[in-house]
C-alpha cells in the first residue's frame, strides 16, 4: 500500500511541543518564534527522531497560519516564517527523511457559530500552502476539530500544489471531535476530497485510539494514520506528565496494522525513544498478511458535517426541498417525518446559495444536491460541509460532474 508515492508502512516523528518544552521552551511561548530564535534545539530533536527511525519529519509550522501568528503580534510574515521553519526540518532530515508541512486549526468558526466565512478559511490556508508548496514533500493536517477547517485546508492546498495531503483529526473516546463531528464522517468526507491518508492524533493513548481506528477500517480506502499521545496527560507539581513508556506505547502496533494503519507516529509526550520502539514493532509486522477490508458495493457512504450516513443506489430521497426562507424548518420536518435516510435540496438561483449556506449545518441525513446550473451546484458543494450525492435527475455535463467528484467528493449514482 502506498500514499501518493510514499511506500508504506511509514514512520512519522514524535512530539515537538512537549519535547521543546522539556528542552527549555517556556510554557506559553510562541513555538514558531522560539524555534527560529533557538534553531539548534529543533535541529537536535529532529535529528534524534531521524536516528530513531523517522521517515517523515513534521515541520514546526503547526501555529504558522496568519491567525495564530497574529495572536502573538507577528504580522505580515506568514510566508517567511513557514519557509524558514520548513528549511530547518529539511536541514535536520539530512536527505534521509521526507518533510511534511504541519497545518493546524485556526480556531475560527464559520457562521452561524462564528464570524468567519468559509472562503476566509480557504484564503488563510491558501496563503500558508503557497508559502510551503516548494519547501515540503507533503502536507499533514493535524489535530483537526472541525469539518469546515479541514475542507478549507484541503481545497486550499490542492489549489496550489498536487503534493499529497494527509488529514488527521483529534477526538474523544466516543469518536467525536470537540465540535461534535464523528471521525467516521470526517473519513468519508476527507477521502472523498482526495486526502491520500486519514487518521487520528493527540487526545488519547494508543488503546483508546485503536478502538476508533477499528470503526474506520471497513470504510477506509486510504492508509490510516495513528499518532497517539504517550497516554493521557497528568498534572504533577504543576508539570504535565505522560506516563506511557516507549515499550507500552508500541505494544498495539500489530493490532493497529490489522486495522489498516500504515503510518505510525507519536503526539504529545512521545520522544525519540517512543519512535525507536515503534520502528522495532513495525519491523516485526508482516503487512502483506492482512486482507483488504471487504466493502459492499451496494452500501454507499455519505456524510453530513457531523454524521456518517449510508445509502444504496436506489435510495428514496423523498420530495425535493426548495431553498426558501423556511429551509431550516423544512429540513428538520423532512428528517423527522420522512425517515428514509436521505434529503434532496434544489439550488436554482443565486439567492439559494446564501440560504443553503446559512442552514446546511442542520442536515443530519445523507444529502442529494440538485441544480440545472453547474455554477450553482458547485457553489452548493463548496459550502456544504459534508459529502453529498447526485441522483442524475438533471442533465449536466458528465465531465463537469466528474470534476465535482474529484474536487468535493460528490457521489454520482
Query: Domain residues of the chain, as ranges?
Result: 10-289, 300-412
Element (H, E) at 186: helix 183-192
Global confidence as pTM: 0.95
Residues linked to residue 300 through DSSP beta bridges, in sequence order: 311
Residue 230 CB partners (closer than 8 Å, separation 6+): 15, 205, 242, 243, 244, 245, 249, 266, 268, 269, 270, 271, 274
Mean pLDDT value across residues 267-296: 94
Instruction: Write the pLDDT tens digit of every residue in 232-257.
Output: 777 776 777 788 999 999 999 999 99
pLDDT band at 105 (very low <50, low <70, confident <90, very high): very high
Give pLDDT, residue 205.
86
Sign of the Cα pseudo-torsion (335, 327, 378, 154, in order): negative
Region at 109 (left for phi over 0; alpha for psi -120 to 50; beta for the rest): beta
Whether residue 5 has pLDDT greater than 90: no
Q: Is the peptide bond before 194 cis (omega within 30 degrees of 0)?
A: no
Helices marked H in 307-397 — which ranges?
327-337, 350-359, 374-383
Quote the cell numbers at residue 181: 463531528
Whether residue 227 has pLDDT greater than 60: yes
pLDDT band at 59 (very low <50, low <70, confident <90, very high): very high
Whether residue 325 has pLDDT greater than 60: yes
Looking at 6-10, 20-24, 97-101, 264-268, which range is the least confident one?
6-10
d(CA 211, CA 215): 7
Fold agreement between 10-289 and 300-412: yes
Give pLDDT, residue 190.
98
- The CATH code that applies to domain 300-412 is 3.20.20.20
Whether residue 2 has pLDDT greater than 70: no
Give pLDDT, residue 127.
98
- One CATH from 3.40.50.150, 3.40.50.300, 3.20.20.480, 3.20.20.330 for 10-289: 3.20.20.330
Evaluate whether 221 touches 198 at the Cβ level (below 8 Å): no
Report the percentage of the chain scoring pLDDT > 90. 85
For residue 182, give the DSSP letter: B
d(CA 220, CA 197): 9
Amino acid at each position: 500500500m502506498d500514499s501518493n508515492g510514499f511506500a508504506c508502512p511509514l514512520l512519522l516523528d514524535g512530539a515537538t511541543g512537549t519535547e521543546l518544552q522539556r528542552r527549555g521552551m517556556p510554557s506559553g511561548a510562541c513555538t514558531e518564534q522560539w524555534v527560529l530564535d533557538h534553531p539548534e534545539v529543533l535541529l537536535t530533536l529532529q535529528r534524534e527522531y531521524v536516528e530513531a527511525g523517522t521517515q517523515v519529519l513534521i515541520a514546526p509550522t503547526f501555529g504558522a497560519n496568519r491567525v495564530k501568528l497574529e495572536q502573538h503580534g507577528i504580522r505580515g510574515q506568514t510566508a517567511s516564517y513557514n519557509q524558514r521553519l520548513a528549511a530547518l526540518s529539511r536541514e535536520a532530515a539530512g536527505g534521509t527523511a521526507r518533510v511534511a508541512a504541519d497545518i493546524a486549526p485556526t480556531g475560527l468558526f464559520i457562521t452561524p457559530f462564528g464570524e468567519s466565512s468559509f472562503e476566509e478559511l480557504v484564503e488563510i490556508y491558501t496563503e500558508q500552502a503557497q508559502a510551503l508548496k516548494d519547501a515540503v514533500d507533503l502536507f499533514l493536517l493535524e489535530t483537526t476539530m472541525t469539518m469546515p477547517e479541514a475542507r478549507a485546508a484541503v481545497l486550499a492546498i490542492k489549489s496550489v500544489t498536487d503534493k499529497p495531503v494527509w488529514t488527521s483529526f483529534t477526538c474523544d473516546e466516543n469518536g467525536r471531535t470537540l465540535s461534535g463531528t464523528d471521525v467516521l464522517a470526517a473519513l468519508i468526507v476527507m477521502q472523498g476530497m482526495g486526502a491520500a491518508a486519514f487518521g487520528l492524533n493527540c487526545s488519547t493513548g494508543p488503546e483508546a485510539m485503536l478502538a476508533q481506528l477499528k470503526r474506520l477500517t471497513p470504510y477506509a480506502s486510504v492508509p490510516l494514520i495513528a499518532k497517539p499521545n504517550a497516554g493521557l496527560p497528568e498534572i504533577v507539581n504543576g508539570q504535565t506528565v505522560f506516563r506511557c513508556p516507549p515499550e507500552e506505547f508500541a505494544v498495539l502496533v500489530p493490532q493497529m496494522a490489522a486495522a489498516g494503519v500504515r503510518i505510525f507516529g507519536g503526539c504529545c509526550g512521545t520522544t525519540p525513544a517512543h519512535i525507536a520502539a515503534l520502528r522495532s514493532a513495525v519491523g516485526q509486522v508482516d503487512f502483506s498478511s492482512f486482507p483488504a477490508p471487504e466493502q459492499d458495493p451496494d452500501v454507499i457512504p455519505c456524510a453530513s458535517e457531523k454524521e456518517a450516513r449510508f445509502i444504496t443506489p436506489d435510495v428514496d430521497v423523498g420530495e425535493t426541498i426548495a431553498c426558501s426562507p423556511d429551509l431550516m424548518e423544512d429540513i428538520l420536518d423532512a428528517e423527522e417525518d420522512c425517515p428514509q435516510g436521505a434529503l434532496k435540496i434544489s439550488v436554482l438561483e443565486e439567492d439559494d446559495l446564501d440560504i443553503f449556506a446559512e442552514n446546511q449545518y442542520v442536515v443530519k441525513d445523507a444529502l442529494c444536491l440538485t441544480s440545472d446550473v453547474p455554477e450553482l451546484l458547485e457553489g452548493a458543494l463548496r459550502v456544504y460541509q459534508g459529502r453529498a450525492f447526485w441522483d442524475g435527475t438533471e442533465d449536466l455535463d458528465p465531465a463537469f460532474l466528474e470534476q465535482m467528484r474529484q474536487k468535493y467528493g460528490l457521489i454520482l449514482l
